[in-house]
Amino acid sequence: MTETIFSKIIERKIPARIAYEDEHCLAFHDVAPQAPTHVLVIPKTAIRSLAELQRTDTGLMGHLVVVATELAAKLGLGDGYRLVVNCGSDGGQSVDHLHVHLLGGRRLGWPPG
């Protein structure tokens, strides 16, 4: 996988406002937030997108979602939040590194996009 802005954040080559980190993932506040709370949860494993997930990644993907929900509680999003995973350019993915968006802090409309 080619180096991305997210891999540079994992390697601490680019600073980020980190909200959570463990051996499997890193979560940080988005520099261009689309909601009052906008955190990205990324795996430390190099996976380009949802389309590249394997059955062996089931535990990792579950971990990313659990981390996102724990962060939502910690960040005071008790009135609701949204988890978004974009896949491919038509799906709105702009960085070729799998990531989960945690969005909240305001009423989120539907349909998105």
What ranges do the domains of the chain cover?
5-104
Angle among Cα 89, 64, 41 to the nearest 5 degrees reads 60
Confidence of residue 2 (pLDDT cuts 50, 70, 90): confident
Question: What CA–CA distances, in Å, run from 57 to 8, 33, 84?
Answer: 22, 28, 18
Report yes or no on whether pTM surpasses 0.85. Answer: yes
Per-residue pLDDT of 47-86, as tens digits, reads 999 999 999 999 999 999 999 999 999 999 999 999 999 9
Which residue among 29, 97, 99, 101 is the active-site one?
A: 99
Q: Tell me the mean pLDDT in the region 89-108.
A: 96
Instruction: Decide if 27 contacts 20 (C-beta within 8 A).
Output: yes
Query: Is 99 labeled as catalytic in the residue annotation?
Result: yes
Q: Tell me yes or no: is domain 5-104 CATH 3.30.870.10.
A: no
